[in-house]
Amino acid sequence: MEFTEFYGIMASISWDSEGWKGEPKQEDIDSSGYQYVQDEEVMFECLNFGHLIYPPEEGGYFIAYTPKFNRLPDKKKTKFVKAIFLITNKPKQATGKRQIVGIYGFPDIGHDEWFDRTAILHPLYKKYNSGNIRSKTENIILFENSIEIDNQIVKELNLLPESKDLTDQGFNYLTSENVLNILSLAIKFNSENDPLILLANNLGLKTEYIDFWKDYVPNYQADTLKGIKELEEKIMDLTPIRKERISSFIERGAIARKIKIFNQYKCLVCEALGIDPHGFKKENGQFYIETHHIIPVSNLEKGSLSVANLITVCANHHRQFHYGNVEILTNDILIFKALMDGTEINIRKVEIE
């Protein structure tokens, strides 16, 4: 599947302890983060996952609502959107984590006008008479086990576009890679949900990618050398058939983050040359640093995805590795030596014990 920039959207809804299948409880209304819900005591998203209970509209569509689309997404950007994930906050949850609770696959978005609920005029449709999203019922899935995320998990698992955080204002656009990663997590926690697996397959998620997540993602929170060692053992001998996505997970995701931490956000080339190894500081106070595969993943060599094949470098030396006059002299589990424009550099890698 080719990379698509605007392939999905993540949009918030109010929490509903009844599962968005009917009138909400008063406590859900009172704890809603949306003032209009509390003021008017109506929660239009309360029917979002009633698609197996209430009558569909003509053509088999079921209508949902997210208050985030009161400011509608760009019509051109949503032309290729194939998935809308609905996310919410559990009330009184102090962890800062949020829950992705379900998906509307192959959705329509009410750009020109909202969608009216008219089918067999169910009594609830009189009160909750419209919405701003719709999908065919077979493409709507409420996750039995929701996906708990926060900004750290989002970054480590590449669930949002690079440099983006979960927003409380508006909504998040998702790339095709983000969508497939979220679907992989959903299947990981809902592995017996056949409609979800079918929808994921229709959205471009293939079996080998699901298997990768089942095998390797459970260790993404490893914060110790021992944890990285476990990742190393799993990845060392992989032939990167799905090189683009797996490489992305390693180079920009969890493993890269651990290597950056253990290398103290230093450019190992600058350090070897005796110059300041730290670049500029980002808004979060961390020094900016990149990771580099010594053996290119595109070579399809075993071990090219391993931790031992990664070093941390500044943006300038990263480009020099790719485009400059560089000759690799030694590259083993612990030592990397190279000639860069005739100057020998010696780097000791993170030791995985």
| Separation CA 213–CA 184 (nearest Å) | 7
Residue-level pLDDT at 248: 56
| Count of residues making up the chain | 353
Residue-level pLDDT at 243: 44
CB 233 within 8 A of CB 239: no
Residue reference for tokens 């890269």: 256
Tokens matching residue 328: 């690799």
Residue-level pLDDT at 24: 92
Residue-level pLDDT at 108: 95
Q: How far is CA 158 from CA 71, 79, 148, 182, 224, in A?
A: 25, 23, 14, 9, 21
| Separation CA 228–CA 219 (nearest Å) | 8
Please state at what angle helix 254-262 crosses helix 225-235, rounded to 10 degrees. 140
Task: Print pLDDT tens along the chain (353 aa).
Answer: 567 889 999 999 999 999 999 999 999 998 887 888 888 888 999 999 999 999 999 999 999 999 988 778 888 889 999 999 999 988 766 567 899 999 999 999 998 889 999 887 788 999 999 999 999 999 999 999 999 998 888 887 788 987 788 875 578 999 998 998 899 889 888 988 999 999 998 998 876 666 666 655 554 444 455 655 665 566 556 555 444 555 555 555 556 777 888 889 999 999 999 999 999 998 778 899 998 888 775 555 555 656 677 889 999 999 999 999 999 898 887 889 999 999 999 998 776 55
Report the 10 Å Cβ neighbour count for 178.
Answer: 24
Burial class (CB in 10 A: 0-12, 13-18, 19+), 182: buried
Phi, psi values for residue 277, rounded to 5°: -85, -5
**What does pTM read for this prediction?**
0.68
List residues bridging with 85 in a β-sheet: 10, 103
CB 142 within 8 A of CB 41: no
CB 239 within 8 A of CB 266: no
Residue-level pLDDT at 221: 44
Which residue type does 196 have? L
Burial class (CB in 10 A: 0-12, 13-18, 19+), 23: middle
Residue-level pLDDT at 306: 64
Chain centre distance of CA 138: 23
Chain centre distance of CA 27: 31
| Separation CA 188–CA 321 (nearest Å) | 37
